[in-house]
Structure 1
Amino acid sequence: MKKTIKLTMFAAPCMLLLFVSILSCGQGSKTSKKETIVEEKGIVVGANQTEEYLELLRNKNVAVVGNNTSVIFKTGNGGERYTHLVDSLMSSGINISKVFAPEHGFRGDADAGEKIKDSKDSQTNISVVSLYGSNYKPSADQLDGIDIVVFDIQDVGARFYTYLSTMHYVMEACAENDIPVIVLDRPNPNGHYIDGPMVENGNESFVSLHPVPIVYGMTIGEYAKMINGEKWLKNGVQCDLTVVPLENYTHNTAYSLPLRPSPNLPNDKSINLYPSLCLFEGTDVNSGRGTEKQFQIFGSPFLPQASYDHTFVPEPNFGAKTPKHLGEECYGLDLSKTQDLDSLNFSWLLDAYNLTTNKENFFKRYKHFDRLAGSEKLREQIEQGKTLAEIKATWKSGLDEFKNVRKKYLIYE
């Protein structure tokens, strides 16, 4: 039921421009330089297409799964650029009975991994139920009296970004309780390529819940269709799912996020580097937490200064109260000026392992590394001295199989 919405009514902010790139979605695919179309054409996010879903919410008790990125953009110059989805729906007469909050909380300001408590939203006085505290999945009691659930959270296109798992458990709980789910789609800033190892059977976790590669090249709406269609929910249940699609978007559309999607992804560069640097979270290397260049630099006290010319000292800051190597001088690389990636860069990880002076403890958080990687295989390959080419060759069959599954659920070219 995708409709054409006049951009004068529901356009993204003027800062969001449409860029078209000639990209391919192969393993380690290379990208030509992005060609900018002269005509500006705003992407229209699902939340802005209120005529597609507002009537589905009328006279219903509605729950919203959202955070600070759940917004409706405004047009025109001056004034506020957006309003929060909850505020907008309430002003339209929709009864918002409850909010479910993912990792980082409803307002998006909690540290990574920090448990979130149930609360009341100070701005609306609506009950906020945490899905990153005592439970990841809404209980039947928490869904009691809810007629429909709206999911609207900005994803960044990496498997270990936990909002995918939150969506999975919301869909599962709603399927079990006969509650429809509406997903308001948003662009994937890393949607232009597919790369990385697959999650292997028996290695599922909250940061690697589905059999997909690290970078999967789908919007969150397409991903929801895949969860449902592949019957990945418990006991193969399927929820009553509606996806409100994007306008003026393809997987090759470059998208600059107007809002920080989580505390440690402050800008486009960090979002582009995140899929390649997040595996450092399972090692003794700091990936920029505790600095102003989160996921744009990395370093460790155990990397040789002769090979790593960037130094930094992690300190407590927004999104990182106790960063790794707090107060210690770290040696590493500053990647903030590097060219944007169109494939995973694992050479930084391999080089760091090969050059560290603390190799026996490099994977001291190896259980977490294995969860991020999707199995113990990648760590074992690195420890065995496999080359990057040898490692990537082992991904090919899984990537090929995934691409065949993926194409069944694509909404966009």
Structure 2
Amino acid sequence: MLLRVIILLQCLLLIACTDSNQAQSNAKATAMAIKSQPILVGAAQYEAYLGALKDKRVGLVVNQTSQVDGTHLVDLLRDKGVDVVKIFAPEHGFRGDYDAGAHVKNTTDTKTGIDVVSIYGSNKKPDPAVLSELDVIIFDIQDVGVRFYTYISSMHYMMEAAALHNLEFIVLDRPNPNIAYVDGPILEPQFRSFVGMHPIPVLHGMTVGELAKMIKGERWIDKAEQLKLRIIPVANYTRNTEYKVPIKPSPNLPNAQAINLYPSLCFFEATPITIGRGTDFAFQVIGYSPVGLGEFSFTPRAIKGASMNPKFKDVTVLGQDLRASAITGLDLNIFINAYTQLTQANQVFFERPDFMDKLAGTDKLRLAIKAGKSEQQIKQSWQAGLTTFMQKREPYLLYKYNSLY
């Protein structure tokens, strides 16, 4: 009898092990299949959204990144018979050729004859008369996953406009090249501005589709409950899929290295230090004069994308060449070291403290640096907030981790 029991238990254990191994094998096969398939951005998945546009008047929130295999979304939709009525242009304009902060004008697209309506500057939401001409608004813009990158602020206002005017809002999702990182202080309400509108960290680790779900779900816009929101997710994409943006998302983020460094270097915009605007390697260097920050010399000049008096225009500065740097995520050391160098030389570092606090979403970062806190101490101060944020964002995530990466 005892022998039968032992044999039975061994059989049950064998079956359990076999089932477990089979489950692991199936999971691995699924992960491998996802990894081997090409990424398909939302815009490329026509069958998922064209039906919703039939006989509808469509407005597009797009720029130069809104392309599928080299063809712009405006042209794709028009070729498929979609009635594109309006184009809404964010910062840098419809074609991505306006300087940072430059006034984006209302105009007419010379190729298609479609009205281009600016949603950057004083007109962050279109006039009701413009919205009355629409049934659907589509958002398709490449983001970089950083809170102060203003495309997500424009998405916020257009989502709110859609909610208030009973329009459907469709997000054609795209990968986030910084999706692996969640870091930085959570924005505090009193520091809310167009470079930071939501209580999220500097690096939020979400795609625009996921963030749109969170904006609606957390009711960060007026009439959020009325918004008819639809997301077309990226196919064959995971939270640890490496992704290099094929088209520069703005004039001064020309390549993957600039996008990697952008979260760490953008704080320098509130200081007298240049981050290379007016060069061919913007957001890949730092420099200053008369105090040198290193041995690398460069001379900013007025060029396309930085024609509005870049810092140290026509002046040679000394600094650091970060084009081969391995910095990713949010690195505070380079910023803290520059603060130390300038203050020791009796130079004003926080030249625009109010703007620094808007970028950071708090005054605590600036005050901690002035108090001599280390990067480790500063980052420790916002860990509790990040933990809460990670829990809050969980229901809105569309993509999982792939164990094969």
TM-score for the superposition, normalised by structure 2: 0.88
* 1:240 pairs with 2:228: yes
What does residue range 308-347 of structure 1 map to in structure 2 within 5 Å?
Answer: 308-321=294-307, 322-341=309-328, 343-347=329-333
Residue by residue over 1:194-218, the C-alpha shift from the partner in whole angstroms, topping out at 9 and shown as x without a partner, is 1111111211000010001110111
Instruction: Report the CA distance shift for 1:235/1:52 in structure 2 as closer, same or farther (over 3 A).
Output: closer
Aligned with residue 412 of structure 1, among 390, 393, 399:
399
What does residue range 134-149 of structure 1 map to in structure 2 within 5 Å?
Answer: 134-149=122-137
Structure 1 spans left out of the alignment, 5+ residues: 1-35, 74-81
* 1:64 pairs with 2:60: yes
TM-score for the superposition, normalised by structure 1: 0.86
Equivalent residue pairs, number: 367
2:39 corresponds in structure 1 to 43
2-side partners of 1:334 and 1:222: how far apart?
Answer: 35
Instruction: Report the CA distance shift for 1:238/1:281 in structure 2 as closer, same or farther (over 3 A).
Output: farther
Bigger drift between 380-389 and 262-271 goes to 380-389
* 1:365 pairs with 2:352: yes
1:62/1:98 contact within 8 Å kept: yes
2:78 corresponds in structure 1 to 90
* 1:54 pairs with 2:58: no
What does residue range 8-407 of structure 1 map to in structure 2 within 5 Å?
Answer: 40-73=36-69, 82-234=70-222, 236-304=224-292, 308-321=294-307, 322-341=309-328, 343-356=329-342, 359=346, 361-407=348-394
Identity over aligned residues, as a percent? 47
2:292/2:317 contact within 8 Å kept: no
Instruction: Report the CA distance shift for 1:355/1:183 in structure 2 as closer, same or farther (over 3 A).
Output: same
Quote the offset at 1:40 in angstroms: 5.0
2-side partners of 1:67 and 1:372: how far apart?
Answer: 23
Bigger drift between 309-318 and 83-92 goes to 309-318
Q: CA RMSD in A?
A: 1.7
Quote the offset at 1:267 in angstroms: 0.5
Quote the offset at 1:235 in angstroms: 5.7
Quote the offset at 1:303 in angstroms: 3.4
2-side partners of 1:120 and 1:70: how far apart?
Answer: 18
Larger Rg: 2
2:96/2:251 contact within 8 Å kept: yes
1:303/1:332 contact within 8 Å kept: no
Higher normalized helix content (fraction of residues):
2
Structure 2 spans left out of the alignment, 5+ residues: 1-31, 401-405
Bigger drift between 359-368 and 277-286 goes to 359-368
1:310/1:333 contact within 8 Å kept: yes
2:163/2:224 contact within 8 Å kept: no
